[in-house]
Amino acid sequence: MLPPSRVNDLAVVEVSYAEATVTLRWTALGDDFDQGGPAHYVEIRYGRDFDQLADDFHGSASVNHSQVLRGSLTSPSEPGSVQTIVILVPDRGDNVTFVFALRMCDEADNCGDPSNIVTANLEYIPLPVNDIDTVTLIVIVVCIALLVVVVILVFCRGNRTETARSTQPPSANDNPSFVPTV
């Protein structure tokens, strides 16, 4: 005879831009206010405008069974337990906001008042762009390492040549005061 109470703890749990889904959670109510068995079904409405959903719950789009990926609109949980539902949203863009509200109804189609309204933003957030990818970084490191090896080899080779020259006995051409005798 009495409708279920108003859900006042509806919350957005997760939003997935990639999968175009919104996960909602609330505490299930009884079919007579918050007493009795579980409510018979859940009616979820959504829109793109908060005021429109608040002013015209019945005129807003209704979530249908084909949009429900996990959970159920027709098998609410026992009163006091947490109910979760994953909804496939109809469209997405770079930055799309949806508003949701629900109400619980009993088997006689007595429905409670619409719940609190929640907002879900499906925003495309691109992955960070690295200025230098891994392959480029490896190539740069290898080039620098090769350059260091070449510099070390040239430096060491130059020192060996100088050392070799200094250990040879001086020749006549190295001493300008040397006068050959005949």
- The pTM of this model reads 0.68
The full set of domain ranges for the chain reads 11-123, 134-166
Does residue 151 or residue 59 have the better pLDDT?
Answer: 59
Looking at the chain, the whole-number percentage of residues with pLDDT higher than 70 is 83
- Convert the pLDDT of each residue in 84-95 to its tens digit: 999 999 877 778
Residue 96: closest CA among 120, 117, 118: 120
157/76 Cα distance (integer angstroms): 84
Residue 102: closest CA among 78, 84, 88, 121: 84
Which pair of structure tokens corresponds to residue 26?
A: 């609330």
Of 3.40.50.620, 3.40.50.2300, 2.60.40.10, 2.60.60.20, which CATH number belongs to 11-123? 2.60.40.10
